[in-house]
Amino acid sequence: MERAVEASRGPRAGATGVVYLLYFLTAILGEFLISRKLVVYGDAVSLAADACYIAVTLLFYYMFEPVNKGLSLLAALFSVVGCGITVLDLFHLAPSHVSPLLFFGPYCLLLGYLIFRSTFLPRILGVLMMFAGLGWLIFLLPSVGHSLSLYIEGLGILAEGLLMLWLLVMGVNVPRWKERADAGETAGA
């Protein structure tokens, strides 16, 4: 019983990596279908991609809760709102002046900061995620962002792709994650 409780409160790095991979695959498939004028199918697959990203967001919330519960929750809220706007946009219900990147930029910044502070993931992944977040925010500036769009998209894909691969292949340093989780429980008691 104790082992089941311990497993349920673990960082779930492998599951996060798998769901992240599913997000990447469905997002790419959705873009491919839309570019082939199969918009209805592309929208359906994009909806599945958004569901995967919400799942990844929740998994990241639990993973980084021991680092800083408040910032982890704030990051999750930014991501969920960004996903919500993306979904509303699929149904042409999103306000045209609100870009999901306005929420995904801060999400990547916060997630990068949490990774950097975590000690259970490589700090370089956190730095790359923070740069990706800045890139998404710069992309929102019409005079600057669109001339750099290829580089910004590449940086975002690189940062999130490396994080996904790290979680799939290496996972997290579980003893360090447990230290953070135990320290948080002791402070909260």
Which pLDDT score, from 0 to 100, does residue 82 have?
97
In a domain, 83, yes or no: yes
- Evaluate whether residue 178 is within a structural domain: no
How far apart, in whole angstroms, are the C-alpha atoms of residue 71 and residue 61? 9
What range defines the domain where residue 63 resides? Answer: 2-167
Residue 189 belongs to a domain: no
- What pLDDT shows up at residue 96? 80
Q: Is residue 184 part of a domain?
A: no
Residues of the chain with confidence (pLDDT) below 70: 1-10, 145-146, 186-189
Domain count across the chain: 1
Phi and psi based region of residue 173 (left: phi greater than 0; alpha: psi -120 to 50; beta: remaining): beta
Is residue 185 assigned to a domain?
no
pLDDT, position 66: 95
Q: Is there a domain that residue 183 lies in?
A: no
Q: What is the DSSP letter of 12?
A: -
| SS3 track for 34-69 | HHCCCHHHHHHHHHHHHHHHHHHHHHHHHHHCCCCH
Query: What per-residue confidence (pLDDT) applies to 94?
Result: 87
Q: Which pLDDT score is estimated for 14?
A: 93
